[in-house]
Chains A and B, each alone.
Chain A
């Protein structure tokens, strides 16, 4: 069994997600689309993912992100919360976002 002091980060409403140092969100003029660059892979986030990623600036808490996204999409916060938290936890597990 491997011993490690490193643990998986689990998201809370107080987490302030930020894109990792080795991940970059940038506009690609050639393909006229937003690209998320990471080691070995390029992701092409859809509109909703992009709006979440743009709020991953280390200043907005998850709770604030849900309020802002709810306003933006005219959606009920309770309804979108599981999608937002699920997305952020998954992206944290993939080492794209620090919670």
Chain B
């Protein structure tokens, strides 16, 4: 079920065949469109899962060909004075002498058995390197998201409730600044001030507890700025709804109106905003930040692997991060749908 229970308005003759290209394209509309389209929750989950697998397959394909067509690990691996025979030997060793299509097919077959290939530099399965780096990235992103939520949510609510007052104007300006500054530049600035000049915090690696502070703070500021903006506008919009005027006419204080009425209504939106921001973090900033702070996570691993043209590690890292983004997205969407429908149903 599910697949066919969607609300179809087109007559059957015009309906695209099941599984046809038009249907795929229609289903790849932005999520917001589909929220309105309705259908059962399990049907939606199935469709989203299928879409997720398709996107992941695209990620696998793109990263494979990018690496294998553009790069050549033998040239990086070989000594500077290597002879042509030496390089040809390396090609054979890495299996690079065979056609790309053949290697791609082999890789897909391996992936299906959860075999991500061997690292050329580390002499171990590529997935092991990713597994080793993954906890560091999760740790960093979770702490970073916590910082972003602290910096974004409460100030966002207050600014939205006191729109166009001094606090709103000041915090809005700060958040725009936080949004506009390149994340790596902000990281470097923090290193310079807190690490080098003041000497308060370690500047790189993950050797002590305090190592997390600066990279997490950088993530927190950059993503907190966005969270602030979105929470602020959600709160502002909510504050101009008639029921808030009614609450005011009941004699409630502004604080109680915010606490008892407005936050209750913006809660789901806020949770979704924070969830999305976590996904965005994986999609971008964490790579740059890990590099700037030499944080031993998936981002740093990816960049290292790209430098060394360690194809299978690079592919494994990108695929795992991609899968993480895709399925977190799905989880947030489904969570939002679930809560939203429960609210609509009650």
A-B interaction: no
Q: What residues of chain A have their CB less than 8 Å away from a CB belonging to chain B? A: none
- On B, residues with C-beta under 8 Å from A are none
